[in-house]
């Protein structure tokens, strides 16, 4: 028995635009049924990597396989099995949502039902509306719906929730979890730590065209780094600091105590570390840890 | 599903979209009919003038429905990212472009038919005398001006600039071609040389021969050659400059 081959294999991928090296030798593999995240700041090379895998860009070097195909030749057999949500893409604005999905469905050999996809993406109220009347968030959900209606095995999501309000983000997360439940493979890019933590089985942290680390979010410190830091001065004016998963209870405690004694919580702040903080942590700590392990093994 | 079946689906979608988009429908249909009504009213007193006006409007209609419409719609589809999105679907790229082109050709053919019928019923021009010549010149004109329209879209940097760019070509060409075709510019002037280097006046001459005088394809072979040369030039530019993605400017 051999295990099924990986859905995506990337070896030493390189891509430059003129003098700018956007991707400088990236390696990773995505197993079938896995939700894999490329996490990194803008300009890290995430979109370039994904667009090479989608067949939009030709790589300068390295080997790439997507569902066993080389995406550079854009075979139709591959396009029928892949759903793509680009970072931004236009749509025929004078069609209705339902018409658009029905047309897209007709381009694939084994599509899902239009109504089913409309419901999955929360577009029931807008199914018969012209696309030009959709809000930004609704248009983004239509992007997802168009990518899913062909019932693809592998879905690319390039920053699927950027610009979403919290409710829309939660809905999109639900949709991704549902895809995982159906056994689909998902490759997503994001610059939100919490999104990577919530959705991804594994993430690769990308910066300046290279992968800094790959692994489950919690193991990479992404989980710990999303904890909130609560800082304040106590009744005696001494600075206090605590790290918690959810600051709600702590803040309530502090403010309740302060109100009870008729005072205030001085200099109360609640912060979460930025992606930059995580990178600094990772880039600063990871090599040192590796050295220690190397020493330990010796 | 075969490539042809997918392209046919896309073509039907493009036709449905055409009638829903007010600006496309305007440039495709209303503008040429407006021109026909206007010129028809101006030259209503002379049948021989009307005989010249109707083929000229047919040629202009072909330019509006192919050159102008494609220059604008290809720019919009490219800049809005529709081309890029379509490229990610199983629809073959070639089939998609054929569907877009075929939709423009449909408009051009419908326009020529409308102008021919209006010429007969409203302006007293007879039915075309040489149908083969009509088909040949319409086909050559459509292919030539469609390829030039796609090529033009490559030069247009963004959606806002699209009407300005396409009209900056369309209106002067229509004007000087009309003057030279109408015989008001003399035969040796710079304006005449310029117009005769461009395809539109030859298309109008060819349609005039087909619809009115019956001057044969052989008589108009020189003009047809100019149209075909522009077709080759336009096709090369259309293919070489083609981009599925937004311009990064």
Question: What are the backbone dihedrals phi and psi of residue A291, each rounded to the nearest 5 degrees, phi first?
Answer: -60, -45
Tell me the three state secondary structure of residue A231.
Answer: strand
- Tell whether A2 is covered by a domain: no
Residues A277 and A183 in one domain: no
- Tell whether A1 is covered by a domain: no
Domain containing A285: what range? 226-297
Q: Could you give the CA distance from residue A83 to residue A281 in angstroms, rounded to a whole number?
A: 35
Report the residue of chain A nearest B21, measured CA to CA. Answer: A94
DSSP state of B213: I
Q: What is the pLDDT of residues A146-164, one digit of tens each?
A: 999 999 999 999 998 887 8
- Tell whether A3 is covered by a domain: no
Residues A270 and A191 in one domain: no
pLDDT score of B171? 93
Query: pLDDT grade, residue A246 (50/70/90)?
Result: confident
- Tell whether A244 is covered by a domain: yes
pLDDT score of A293? 42
Question: What are the backbone dihedrals phi and psi of residue A70, each rounded to the nearest 5 degrees, phi first?
Answer: -85, 115
Residues A248 and A208 in one domain: no
For residues B239 and A271, the model is more confident at B239
Residues A259 and A118 in one domain: no
ipTM, two decimals, is 0.85
Of B1, B80, B91, the CB nearest to A109: B1
Residues A128 and A30 in one domain: yes
Determine the average pLDDT of the residues in A119-131.
92
Query: pLDDT grade, residue A4 (50/70/90)?
Result: low
- Tell whether A37 is covered by a domain: yes
Residues A232 and A192 in one domain: no
Q: Could you give the CA distance from residue A237 to residue B193 in angstroms, rounded to a whole number?
A: 90
Chain A CB contacts of B95 under 8 Å are none
Report the residue of chain B nearest A89, measured CA to CA. Answer: B81
Tokens 């030709």 belong to A58
Residues A136 and A266 in one domain: no
Q: Is residue B47 within 8 angstroms of chain A, CB to CB?
A: no
DSSP state of B246: -
Of B13, B81, B245, the CB nearest to A103: B13
pLDDT score of B174? 93
Q: What angle do CA A129, A188, A29 make, to 5 degrees?
A: 145
Residues A27 and A64 in one domain: yes
Q: Could you give the CA distance from residue B166 to residue B159 in angstroms, rounded to a whole number?
A: 11
Q: What is the pLDDT of residues B36-83, one digit of tens each?
A: 999 999 998 889 889 999 999 999 999 999 999 999 999 999 999 999
Q: Could you give the CA distance from residue B60 to residue B145 in angstroms, rounded to a whole number?
A: 10
Entry pTM: 0.83
Chain A CB contacts of B20 under 8 Å are 94-95
- Tell whether A59 is covered by a domain: yes
**Helix boundaries (H) for chain B:** 3-20, 22-25, 31-42, 47-62, 69-80, 82-87, 93-121, 131-155, 162-181, 190-197, 199-208, 221-240
pLDDT score of A282? 66
Q: Could you write out the DSSP letters of every residue in A111-153?
A: PPPHHHHHHHTT-GGGTTSBGGG--HHHHHHHHHHHHHTT--S
Q: Is residue B85 within 8 angstroms of chain A, CB to CB?
A: yes
Residues A198 and A282 in one domain: no
Regions of chain B where pLDDT drops below 50: none
Answer with the one of A171, A198, A223 that is the final residue of a domain: A223
Nearest Cα to Cα of residue A218 among A278, A158, A144, A168: A278
| Cβ atoms of A193 and A225 closer than 8 Å | yes
Determine the average pLDDT of the residues in A118-133.
92
Residues A113 and A249 in one domain: no
pLDDT score of A55? 94
pLDDT score of A45? 92
Max Cα-Cα span within chain A: 71
**Which CATH number does the domain housing residue A197 bear?**
3.40.50.300
pLDDT score of A80? 95
Q: Could you give the CA distance from residue A27 to residue A165 in angstroms, rounded to a whole number?
A: 33
Answer with the one of A223, A239, A259 that is the final residue of a domain: A223
- Tell whether A162 is covered by a domain: yes
Distance of CA B48 to the CA centre of its chain: 25
Residues A164 and A253 in one domain: no
Q: Could you give the CA distance from residue B137 to residue B157 in angstroms, rounded to a whole number?
A: 32
Query: How many structural domains does chain A have?
Result: 2
Answer with the one of A188, A223, A258 that is the final residue of a domain: A223
Percent of chain A with pLDDT strictly greater than 70 = 88
Residues A14 and A141 in one domain: yes
Chain A CB contacts of B77 under 8 Å are 90
């Amino acid at each position: 028995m051999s295990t099924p081959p990986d859905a995506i294999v990337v070896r030493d991928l390189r891509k430059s635009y003129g003098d700018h090296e956007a991707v400088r030798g990236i390696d990773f593999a995505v197993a079938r049924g896995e939700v894999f995240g490329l996490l990194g700041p803008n300009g890290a090379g995430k979109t370039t990597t994904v667009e090479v895998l989608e067949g939009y860009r030709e790589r300068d070097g390295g080997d790439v396989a997507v569902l066993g195909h080389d995406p550079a030749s854009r075979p139709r057999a591959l396009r029928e099995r892949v759903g793509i949500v680009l970072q931004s893409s236009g749509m025929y604005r004078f069609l209705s949502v339902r018409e658009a999905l029905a047309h897209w469905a007709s381009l694939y050999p084994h599509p899902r039902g239009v109504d089913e996809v409309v419901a999955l993406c929360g577009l029931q109220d807008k199914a018969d509306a012209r696309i030009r009347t959709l809000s930004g968030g609704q248009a983004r959900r239509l992007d997802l719906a168009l990518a899913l209606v062909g019932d693809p095995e592998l879905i690319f999501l390039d920053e699927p929730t950027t610009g979403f309000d919290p409710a829309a983000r939660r809905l999109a997360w639900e949709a991704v979890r549902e895809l995982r439940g159906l056994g689909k493979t998902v490759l997503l890019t994001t610059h939100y730590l919490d999104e990577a933590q919530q959705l991804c089985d594994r993430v690769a942290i990308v910066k300046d065209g290279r992968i800094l680390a790959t692994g489950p979010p919690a193991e990479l410190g992404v989980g710990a780094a999303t904890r909130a830091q609560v800082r304040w001065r106590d009744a005696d004016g001494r600075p206090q600091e605590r790290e918690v998963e959810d600051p709600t209870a702590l803040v309530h405690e502090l403010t309740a105590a302060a109100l009870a004694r008729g005072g205030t919580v001085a200099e109360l702040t609640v912060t979460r570390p930025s992606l930059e903080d995580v990178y600094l942590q990772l880039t600063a700590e990871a090599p040192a840890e590796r050295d220690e392990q190397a020493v330990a093994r010796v | 599903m075969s490539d042809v079946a997918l392209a046919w689906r896309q073509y039907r979608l493009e036709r449905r979209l055409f009638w829903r988009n007010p600006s496309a429908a305007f440039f495709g249909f209303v503008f040429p009919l407006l021109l026909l009504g206007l010129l028809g009213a101006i030259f209503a007193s002379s049948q021989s003038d009307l005989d010249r006006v109707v083929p000229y409007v047919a040629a202009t209609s072909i330019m509006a429905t192919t050159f102008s419409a494609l220059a604008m719609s290809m720019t919009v589809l490219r800049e809005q990212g529709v081309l890029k999105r379509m490229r990610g679907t199983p629809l073959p790229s070639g089939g998609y472009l054929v569907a877009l082109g075929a939709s423009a050709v449909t408009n051009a053919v419908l326009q020529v038919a409308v102008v021919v019928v209006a010429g007969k019923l409203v302006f007293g021009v007879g039915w075309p005398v040489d149908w083969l010549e009509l088909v040949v010149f319409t086909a050559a004109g459509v292919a030539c001006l469609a390829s030039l329209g796609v090529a033009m879209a490559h030069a247009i940097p963004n959606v806002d600039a699209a009407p300005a760019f396409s009209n900056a070509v369309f209106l002067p060409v229509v004007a000087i071609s009309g003057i030279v075709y109408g015989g008001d510019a003399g035969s040796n002037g710079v304006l005449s040389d310029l117009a005769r280097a461009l395809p539109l006046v030859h298309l109008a001459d060819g349609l005039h021969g087909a619809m009115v005088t019956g001057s044969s394809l052989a008589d108009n072979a020189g003009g047809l050659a100019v149209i075909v040369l522009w077709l080759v030039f336009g096709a090369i530019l259309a293919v070489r400059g083609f981009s599925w993605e937004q311009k990064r400017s």
